[in-house]
Amino acid sequence: MSKLYFKYGAMGSSKTAQALMCKFNYEQKDFKVFLFKPIVDNRLQKDGKALVGSRIGLSSECIEFTKNDNFLSLAKTLNILQERNVIIIDECQFLTKEQVEQLKEISFTIPVLCYGLLTNFKTYLFEGSKRLIEIADSIKEIKSVCSCGRKAIVNARVVDGKIVDDGNEVLIGGDEKYQGMCYQCYIKAKRK
């Protein structure tokens, strides 16, 4: 049964690894998977092709999208709305509200699985994540832990070894720029 799925977690919770494992599982069952990521995530490329890659070494070619792309148009252009096709979106927090609504409509026909962050480094919902919470058929947290052992829920931005809460919402990076933390450790670190 087709649904719109939202799977979210803090930085370092293996969201991308799980998206890539999900892609592999579908492909093993002879589904065609259309893997997307936002063009703003320009960290991985190979031979001029965009890749989705996880910290544990898994990677796959993907289709990049911009905030101006219409997924209903892309679905027609790429002939996506066929039986045994699936869409997987990595870094779905960067979707616009309208794009989430387009993906919801696509999910009437084929499964759409979205993986990403829930909140930004200021602890506020991303636009795409907010709309996914509002209209996704299935919402699942991918849990990870803070260095203290509590559940990580904050995507703390680290600049020169210090936690910051000001700056642009989008700053692409991994472990060198962000740390998954519990809220208690986040507040303590911010006050230092």
Q: Which residues are catalytic?
A: 91
Q: Which residues neighbour 42 within 8 Å (Cβ) at sequence distance 6 or greater?
A: 172
Return the half-sphere exposure (C-beta side, CA atoms, 13 A cut-off) of residue 129. 20
Contact 58, 89 (CB under 8 A): no
Contacts of 48 (CB under 8 A, 6+ apart): none
Can you tell me the distance from the alpha carbon of 87 to that of 107, in angstroms, rounded to the nearest whole number?
9
What one-character DSSP code corresponds to residue 43? S
Helix (H, G, I), strand (E, B) or coil at 114: strand
C-alpha 42, offset from chain centre: 14
Give Cα 105 to chain centroid, integer Å.
19
3 state SS of 22: helix
Q: Which residues pair with 86 in a beta bridge?
A: 33
